[in-house]
Structures are given as structure tokens and as C-alpha cells.
Amino acid sequence: MKPTLLVLAAGMGSRYGGLKQMDGLGPDGETIIDYSIYDAVQAGFGKVVYIVREYFKEQMEQVVKEKYSNVRCLDGEPLEFRFVTQELNKIPEGFTLNPERVKPWGTAHAVLMGKEAINEPFAVINGDDYYGKESFKVIGDWLRAHEGKTGEFALVGFELDNTLSESGGVSRGIGTADGNGFLTDVEEHHNIAMAQDGKVYGENSKGEKVELAPKALCSMNMWGFTPDYFEKSQAIFEKFLEKNINELKAEFYIPYAIDCMIKEGTGRTELLSTPSRWFGVTFKEDRPGVVAKFQEFADKGIYPAPLYSK
């Protein structure tokens, strides 16, 4: 079984000031998504599903067709690609969209858009985050081990101090697991940064400044799901809309859907860990450092340059 990679690429980077998903950061103009797909293929994935917006779907399809035409899976078969769109009006029947709403419905809504294209265990990632080779191996192995199972999900947790930005405070959901390694809670923290004393501080959900454990496992939105996730998440989304259909800014996030499943007893989520160091372009000031990192990877032979041959 070859798992599928679902890439959340529908968002515009407001803090970054542009469409991050298309920004060339590698030595030969590679995007962060290019590196994620390379690592996913090496980890045994066989299909990539992009969640995009309709207005740049055609552009993304053309770029993918040109860039990945020679990419093969580990078994020699061509890597498969699908594109699905996330739009505000893609909501369940019986609900009427508030015409004043312009904000997307959130990451869990975006994942639901992939239902028509995915029938196998799959991983979810952000299109503008670098996760690292080890992370894809961790989630790829987990997905293959859970083929045919239901109600089994996973979160790849990154050590908090491996996810910080030098350009400003970041928001991270910090996971807590029970004695068997299953997620019991993900608490969102904001303005997380390392202070001059070397300690990590952030603001908890109450707005209080707290010291955080540097090795605490946090979510970078790298999830693993069995395909029954779609049905379970859809039911939760409908309940969410019953309360929030007229709210202009309420968003349906993956951690919220997972938390509902934990409390309802309809699914459990294993908290995995990765030694990889995350990096990305949260702020436009992050860009030079990311460019330098990919150049370093090429210089050390960690990745080929160019990443893909034509």
C-alpha cells in the first residue's frame, strides 16, 4: 500500500506578503512543496493531492505537470497527482453561506475537500512548511501499518525548540499524551519565542505568559489519517456549522475536529515524534535563512541540485 500526501496549499500568506506556495527558495528555484514531495516519494508515498483555490488551480496544475513529469515512486510507477479546490460555498447541503463571509473555513474544511480523491491512509501537511526526511518516514511507516483500520489517527509532534523563528513569535499547538502515547489535548500557545536567558516563553489560551518545555511536542499540522476520518469530520463540521454558519470569522480547524473525536470516543490519535528541525517562511524576514538552508542541503549532498530532472 502506498499512502497519499494531501497538501494544504489554498491559503495566501498574509504575513509573508505573497503566495508562498509558488516561491522558489532552493538553489534551482525549488519550492518548499518540491522538497516535501521529494521526501514523501522517498518515504513510499504514491499520490499527491493538492488543496488549492480555483483562481490558481490551473497555474498549479501546469507547474506540476512540467516539474514532476519524470518523478517515479519507489516501485517505479509514476507519481499520481490530483487537484481539488477549497471554496467558501463548498459546505454541506442544508446550509446557506453568509454572503458577507470572506474568510476560509479553516484547515479541517480544507482536508474534507480531499474526500473525492482519497480512499487510502493519508498524511496532511502545510504547503509552506519544511518537515524533513525523518518526519515523512515516521508518518509513512505509521500509515502503512494502519491500512484497513478505522478510527486511528496520528500527529507528528516536533520538539518545540526545533520550530521557532528568529523573526518573531510563533503560534504552536502543544500536545499532551496519555500513558499509552495517545493524544489527550492540544493547547494553542501564541507569541512563542526563545528569550535571552535561553528559555522558551509563550502565551497560553488564557493570554498568560508561561514558560514552555523546549522539548515539548507541538503540532506543525502534519497528521496521519485512516480514510474514515472524512466521514467523522464531516459530521463534526455539520454540527460546527449549526452554531457558526452566520459567524464571519469562525474556522473549523483540524485540532478542533480531532478533539471532538477524542471526547466522543470515535477516534484516537497517536502522538508520534520526529527529530527533524522545522523551518518555513512564516514571515518574509525568514526567507533568506530558508534559502541559505536549502543551499546548505545541496552543498552537503542531502538533496540533489536540481531537485528534479527535466
Q: What are phi and psi of 52, to 5 degrees?
A: -130, 175
* 167 CB neighbour count, 10 Å cutoff: 17
Scored b (16 or more CB within 10 A) or e, 11-39 reads bebeebeebbbebebbbeebbbbbbbbbb
pLDDT tens track, the chain, 310 positions: 999 999 998 864 443 344 555 678 999 989 899 999 999 999 999 999 999 888 888 888 888 888 898 999 999 999 999 999 999 899 999 999 999 999 889 999 999 999 999 999 999 999 889 999 999 999 999 999 999 999 999 999 999 999 998 888 989 999 999 999 999 988 889 999 999 888 999 998 888 999 999 999 999 999 999 999 999 999 999 999 999 999 999 999 999 999 999 999 999 999 999 999 998 887 788 889 999 999 999 999 999 999 987 6
C-beta separation of 13 from 19 below 8 A: yes
Query: Where is 52: in which H helix or E strand?
Result: strand 47-52
Distance from C-alpha of 122 to C-alpha of 153, rounded to nearest angstrom? 10
Distance from C-alpha of 108 to C-alpha of 95, rounded to nearest angstrom? 17
Distance from C-alpha of 212 to C-alpha of 214, rounded to nearest angstrom? 6
Burial of 276 (C-beta count, 10 Å sphere; 0-12/13-18/19+): buried
Give the CA distances from residue 187 to residues 173, 174, 211, 212, 306, in Å, rounded to whole numbers and listed in that order: 5, 5, 14, 12, 40
DSSP classification of residue 277: P
Please tell me the predicted confidence (pLDDT) of residue 167.
82
Give the CA distances from residue 101 to residues 90, 104, 296, 302, in Å, rounded to whole numbers and listed in that order: 13, 8, 43, 45
Evaluate the CA torsion angle 37, 41, 44, 50 in order and state its sign: positive
Q: Which three cell numbers stand for residue 113?
A: 475537500
The angle formed by the CA atoms of residues 31, 117 and 30, to the nearest 5 degrees, is 5
Q: Which three cell numbers stand for residue 233?
A: 469530520
Q: Which three cell numbers stand for residue 309?
A: 530532472
Distance from C-alpha of 85 to C-alpha of 51, rounded to nearest angstrom? 5
Distance from C-alpha of 121 to C-alpha of 148, rounded to nearest angstrom? 8
pTM across the whole model? 0.92
Please tell me the predicted confidence (pLDDT) of residue 65.
87
The angle formed by the CA atoms of residues 153, 238 and 245, to the nearest 5 degrees, is 125
Distance of CA 266 to the CA centre of its chain: 22
CB within 8 Å of 281: residues ≥ 6 apart? 13, 16, 20, 23, 25, 32, 128, 287, 290
The DSSP bridge pattern shows strands 170-177 and 217-225 to be antiparallel
Please tell me the predicted confidence (pLDDT) of residue 13.
40
Please tell me the predicted confidence (pLDDT) of residue 284.
81
CB within 8 Å of 208: residues ≥ 6 apart? none
Q: How many residues does the chain have?
A: 310
Query: Where is 136: in which H helix or E strand?
Result: helix 133-145
